[in-house]
């Protein structure tokens, strides 16, 4: 579920960076250029604002990132709390240090639990799972955005095709 309305100006092609914000670690995922598959990228351990800004500027340049999808921790009832405010502040800072990339905030409710469930199925120790959790959560956030966007585009195409068919039917009936 989206926390923000999907902006028509948000890039529809090119790689996107998925971000699972944390005060200590930031989970990162990346999409394909076609924006159909998200893959875990890495976990970044935060250092200082200067070092973090330099790291993200280089990452965005190296991968030619076109937009940012930042997880927004929402309460179960859909309201935003203090954590969501911090995630929004971080996302806006991230957009700024990466040259003004477009940013979209995405509801991340239950992503850590889903990521944990995925990792429990793999033969890893608790410590190994914890190391991977944030980047898997970032992947889930980004993939949810990609899937939702693809579904909306499919519905729009089907509605356009239906509308065209209706017009053809009307033209045929008038003849």
pLDDT at 2: 41
pLDDT at 136: 84
Edge-to-edge strand ranges of the sheet holding 25-31: 38-45, 25-31, 16-20, 67-72, 103-107
CATH homologous superfamily for 16-174?
Answer: YqgF/RNase H-like domain (3.30.420.140)
Locate the domains of the chain by residue range: 16-174
Assigned token pair, 79 = 């309201």
Q: Which residue has the higher pLDDT, 109 or 92?
A: 92
Residue 48 has pLDDT above 70, yes or no: yes
Q: For residues 29-43, give the mean pLDDT.
A: 96
pLDDT at 3: 45
CA distance 28 to 117: 18
User: Residue 1's pLDDT band (boundaries 50, 70, 90)?
Assistant: very low
Q: Output the pTM of the full model.
A: 0.80
Residue 101 has pLDDT above 80, yes or no: yes
What separation in angstroms does the CA of 34 have from each of 30, 62, 138, 152, 164?
A: 11, 17, 18, 15, 27
Q: Which residue has the higher pLDDT, 75 or 90?
A: 90
Angle of CA points 4, 98, 11, to nearest 5°: 45
User: Residue 134's pLDDT band (boundaries 50, 70, 90)?
Assistant: confident
CA distance 82 to 98: 24
């Amino acid at each position: 579920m989206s926390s923000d309305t999907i902006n028509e100006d948000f890039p529809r092609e090119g790689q996107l960076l998925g971000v699972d914000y944390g005060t200590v670690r930031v989970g990162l995922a990346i999409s394909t250029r076609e924006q159909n598959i998200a893959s875990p990228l890495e976990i970044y351990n935060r250092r200082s604002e200067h070092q973090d800004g330099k790291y993200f500027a280089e990452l965005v340049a190296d991968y030619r990132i076109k937009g940012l999808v930042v997880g927004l921790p929402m309460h179960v009832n859909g309201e935003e709390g203090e954590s969501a405010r911090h995630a929004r502040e971080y996302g806006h800072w991230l957009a700024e240090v990466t040259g003004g990339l477009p940013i979209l905030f995405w509801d991340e409710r239950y992503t850590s639990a889903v990521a944990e469930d995925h990792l429990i199925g793999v033969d890893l120790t608790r410590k190994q799972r914890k190391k991977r959790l944030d980047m898997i959560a970032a992947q889930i956030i980004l993939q949810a955005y990609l899937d939702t966007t693809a579904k909306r585009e499919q519905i729009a195409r089907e509605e356009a095709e239906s509308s065209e068919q209706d017009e053809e039917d009307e033209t045929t009936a008038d003849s």
